[in-house]
């Protein structure tokens, strides 16, 4: 698949088939994503791949997101809000949930580096998944949820969960979406 075609084809999917994904394919996707640009000394994130009963435990925690993310939900239009609430309820039935864990950064420059490294790698994860016929969707967690998730993973005090992402064989065609364009300023 051409790179541009893949970028334009990728969409967030919030409903999945229950079909499991082989660990070999999951590992391959992480291997591909590891080729993203890095700030070597500051690439400190790690992934937790939740399957089976741990995935169920996580879904139970994330399903409470709706109550704690009221501010986020309020800014969405009605259709998007409905989709988001439904998605949080069981993470779309995704058989695999990936959590990105980062160190709690002490300075803004460290935070920028960690967040940018994660963002670039997450994008490659999404595209690698797409190339293997899989779908993904990032999900936001309220701070209270993050603490519960940290407990579930047994994270040490100095680490936190940055973001979550579902992975699975998609079972929906999302509605067309106008992607807002960030302003681009040419400075000469």
Ligand X SMILES: Cc1cc2nc3c(=O)[nH]c(=O)nc-3n(C[C@H](O)[C@H](O)[C@H](O)COP(=O)(O)O)c2cc1C
Tell me the three state secondary structure of residue 46. strand
Distance CA 38, CA 36 (A): 6
Nearer residue to ligand X within complex by CB, 27 or 82:
82
Asked if 99 is part of the footprint of ligand X (rule: CB under 6 A), the reply reads no
Asked if 84 is part of the footprint of ligand X (rule: CB under 6 A), the reply reads yes
One of 41, 75, 108, 177 touching ligand X (CB under 6 A) = 177
Place of tokens 């109550």: 67
Considering only residues 112 through 151, tell me which ones interact with ligand X, judged by CB under 6 A.
Answer: 137-140
Tell me the three state secondary structure of residue 98. strand
Count of CB atoms situated within 10 Å of the CB of 166? 27
One of 12, 113, 117, 135 touching ligand X (CB under 6 A) = 12
Distance CA 38, CA 22 (A): 27
Considering only residues 24 through 83, tell me which ones interact with ligand X, judged by CB under 6 A.
Answer: none
Which residues of this protein are in contact with ligand X, per CB under 6 A?
A: 11-12, 14, 84, 87, 137-140, 163, 174, 177
């Amino acid at each position: 698949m051409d790179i541009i075609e893949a970028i334009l084809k990728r969409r967030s999917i919030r409903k999945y088939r229950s079909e499991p994904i082989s660990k070999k394919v999951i590992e391959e996707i992480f291997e591909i994503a590891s080729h993203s640009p890095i700030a070597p000394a500051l690439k400190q994130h790690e992934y937790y791949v939740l399957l089976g009963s741990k995935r169920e435990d996580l879904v139970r925690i994330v399903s409470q997101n709706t109550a704690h993310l009221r501010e986020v939900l309020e800014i969405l239009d009605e259709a998007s809000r409905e989709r988001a609430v439904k998605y949080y309820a069981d993470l779309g039935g995704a058989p695999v949930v990936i959590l990105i864990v980062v160190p709690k950064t002490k300075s803004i420059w460290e935070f920028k580096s960690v967040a940018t490294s994660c963002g670039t790698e997450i994008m490659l994860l999404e595209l690698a998944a797409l190339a293997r016929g899989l779908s993904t969707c990032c999900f936001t967690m309220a701070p209270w949820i993050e603490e519960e998730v940290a407990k579930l993973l047994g994270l040490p005090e100095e680490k936190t969960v940055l973001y979550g992402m579902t992975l699975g064989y998609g079972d929906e065609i999302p509605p067309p979406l106008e992607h807002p364009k960030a302003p681009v300023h040419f400075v000469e």
